[in-house]
Amino acid sequence: MALTQQLARVSPQYLAQCRATAEVSADSNPGWDPPSEDTVDLDWAIGGLLWFCQRMRIEGPCVQVLQRSISGDPGGGIEFLDHPEIHDGFGSPPALLAPAAVVEVARGLAALDIDEVLSCLPADHWEAAEACGFRGFNGHPRKYLVEHFELLQSFYLTAGRRGLAVLVWTD
């Protein structure tokens, strides 16, 4: 089973409810079950986009906002979500972007021109896949990268408009 990048939009109240549930649960299960319309599986697209940026030596706000969007911020008081029902123990435990940070990330993603970032993506599909760290990828990865970037951008924009936090983890 492949591990993929997961995101969930949640209210601070929902996080408080999960924390309270974990405190009284015999196995510390927080009862995590956000609505499916507020979750997204980004597969490994954004990781591949970051890999590509590193290989092409693209730096600055582009890389920073992409990394933050899938890594979260340190702290956040969500240790109770490091539970087998949510996180299988591979990679870092879930991380939080508080509502104010979500607005910052949404602005950064909105300002990012994905076509400009991908302007030096090789035309050959094998070379392009290799440049993104996608060995064995079928076809050219440009469409895959653009679709998942737009999904990420839309996800954060919606979370920011609704005043929600975003949880990030690999599962």
Helix-, strand-, coil-residue percentages of the chain, each rounded to 5: 50, 10, 35
Backbone φ, ψ for residue 155 (5° rounding): -60, -50
The tokens for 9 are 């939009």
For the segment 25-32, the average pLDDT, to the nearest whole number, is 89
Q: Per residue in 71-114, pLDDT tens? A: 999 988 888 888 877 777 777 789 999 999 999 999 999 999 99
For the segment 114-136, the average pLDDT, to the nearest whole number, is 93
Structure confidence at residue 80 (pLDDT) = 82
Q: Which H or E run contains 142?
A: helix 142-162
Model confidence at 1: pLDDT above 70:
no
Structure confidence at residue 2 (pLDDT) = 57
Q: pTM (2 decimals)?
A: 0.93
For the segment 21-47, the average pLDDT, to the nearest whole number, is 92
